[in-house]
Amino acid sequence: MKKTISILMVLAVSTFIVLAAKETISVKGSAEISAKPDVAYFTITSTFTEDTTEEARNKTSDMIANCVELLEEDFGIGKKDLETSYISASPVYHYDDEGKQVLVGQRASQSINVTVRSINDIGRIYESLMAFDSITLSDVRLDKENKDGEMIEAMTKAVENAYRKASTYAKAANVGIKKVLSIEEGYSSYTPVYGRGANMLMAAAKAEAADSAPVEYYTGDISVSADVSIVYEIEELKD
């Protein structure tokens, strides 16, 4: 039994020595590609301060309802693309001349997230929303809803980039690449585009309203990136 264990240990050590003796090149590859956005996201928030919570809440709800009606009827945005994201109600205080806290009213807020699938309508949407004075709008975030194809392309190009690096090193060292020993996926990500602030767009729309000029909204590309680490086994070049 002891003899069998000794033989196994010798074989294991021998295997380790063979693997350790392999000459390798380790490289990292990266790639970044661009994609056209096909969806836009922004948030509408309505806030009112009134004498009672009910009054503030009713005004807030009515304002959001008006915005939703406009988005649905004028731009065909469906209910699945309108989502309530925030509702709050709280007392509002101020301090009088004696430093005492005095209740001055109740504040209510409500926010909805909006998804726009026809991004060419963004400028017109803001032009229409500027008719409502008591709302604030977030910045626009442009994105691509399904990025699977772009991610695969980025990963493929990252591997190709790693191979080009390894080939360059191998050529300089006068060796050849034999095979891949390991591939380790690195950090893969995407970067959406954040457009002009909604309130800036609304201000621009108001300034141009006298001339009935449309609000221009320029979209950029999103970026999708991938990183990979690859270990190649190398060999001496034969004459």
CATH at residue 130: 3.30.70.2970
Spatial CA neighbour of 227 closest among 41, 6, 29? 29
Predicted confidence at residue 216, as pLDDT, reads 57
Q: What is the pTM of this model?
A: 0.72
> Would you say residue 183 lies in a domain?
no
Where the chain has pLDDT below 50, the residues are 2-20, 197-200, 202, 205, 209-210
> Would you say residue 110 lies in a domain?
yes
* Distance, C-alpha 192 to centroid of its chain: 4
Spatial CA neighbour of 64 closest among 42, 50, 82, 80? 82
> Would you say residue 234 lies in a domain?
no
> Would you say residue 19 lies in a domain?
no
Predicted confidence at residue 52, as pLDDT, reads 95
> Would you say residue 163 lies in a domain?
no
> Would you say residue 203 lies in a domain?
yes
Question: Which residues constitute the domain of residue 100?
Answer: 39-145+193-220
> Would you say residue 8 lies in a domain?
no
In one letter, which amino acid is 236? E
Predicted confidence at residue 211, as pLDDT, reads 52
C-alpha to C-alpha distance for 75 and 116, rounded to whole angstroms:
9
Number of domains making up the chain: 1
> Would you say residue 187 lies in a domain?
no
Predicted confidence at residue 44, as pLDDT, reads 97
